[in-house]
Chains A and B, each alone.
Chain A
Amino acid sequence: DIQMTQSPSSLSASVGDRVTITCRASQSISSYLNWYQQKPGKAPKLLIYAASSLQSGVPSRFSGSGSGTDFTLTISSLQPEDFATYYCQQSYSTLPFTFGPGTKVDIK
C-alpha cells in the first residue's frame, strides 16, 4: 500500500496568515494527489485535485503544487472559515486510495 504522511499534524495561525501544509507519499504517485477540507461534524470537501487543479467553487486563495512524492497545499491568506482539518489523498492506480492523517488548522 502507498503510505501518506502530512506535516505538521496541527498548526495555529491567525487570519491573514499564509499557511502551508505538506504531504508525502511513500512512492511516486505522479500528480494523483487530492486535498480535502473537513469541518467538525461535516463531510470532507474536495479542494484540489490532480495536485494543482482547483475544484469548482473553491476560493483562489487555496493552491496546490508538487508531483512524484512531495506535495504542498497553500492557503495564501487564511480566512475565519478556513479553520478546519485538511487531508491529502492519493488516487494513483494502486488501491487502496489512502489518505494522509490530517492537519488541523486552528486559531492562534
Chain B
Amino acid sequence: EVQLVESGGGLVQPGGSLRLSCAASGFTVSSNYMSWVRQAPGKGLEWVSVIYSGGSTYYADSVKGRFTISRDNSKNTLYLQMNSLRAEDTAVYYCARDGDSMPAFDIWGQGTMVTVSS
C-alpha cells in the first residue's frame, strides 16, 4: 500500500528546534517530488517546501533560512528540520507526494501537530 506516515511533532518553545519525519511505503521517496504542506489551526493550506528527485530544494519565503528539507534514501524517509521556531509556525504539518504523471499532491500523510508556545 502506498502511504506516508509523519512523526516528530510536539510542543516546542519559541526559538527552539524540531525535526519532522515522513516515512514512505509502497514507493520510492527519491524518485518523486516530495513536499511539506502546513495548516495553522482553523486556517487554509500553505505549501512549505519541496525536494525534487534530483535533490534540488525550495522553500516558502516564510520559512526560508530556518527550515531544511532532506531525505534519507536508505530509510525511504523525508525530513523537515525546523529551527528558530515562531508562534506562527504552529500548524499541522503534512508531507505529500507529487504524482508520478501529474503535478498534484496525490498522496498525503496523516499530519503531525507542531505547537510553538512558551
Contact = CB atoms under 8 A, between A and B. Distances in A.
Contacts of B111: 43
Contacts of B103: 32, 34, 49-50, 91
Contacts of B47: 96-99
B93 to A, nearest CB: 11
B94 interface: yes
A89 B45 contact: yes
Given A43-B94, A43-B110, A95-B58, A49 B45 contact: no
Interface string A77-108: 00000000001010100011111111000000
B67 to A, nearest CB: 13
A87 B46 CA distance: 11
* Interface size bracket, A side: 20 to 34
Interface in A41-99: 43-46, 49-50, 53, 55, 87, 89, 91, 95-99
A34 B106 CA distance: 10
Residue from the set A32, A87, A96, A98 with the largest chain B CB neighbour count within 10 Å: A96
A44 B105 contact: yes
Interface of B: 35, 37, 44-47, 50, 58, 60-61, 94, 99, 102-106, 108-111
Closest 4 CB pairs of A and B: A91-B103, A49-B104, A43-B108, A34-B104
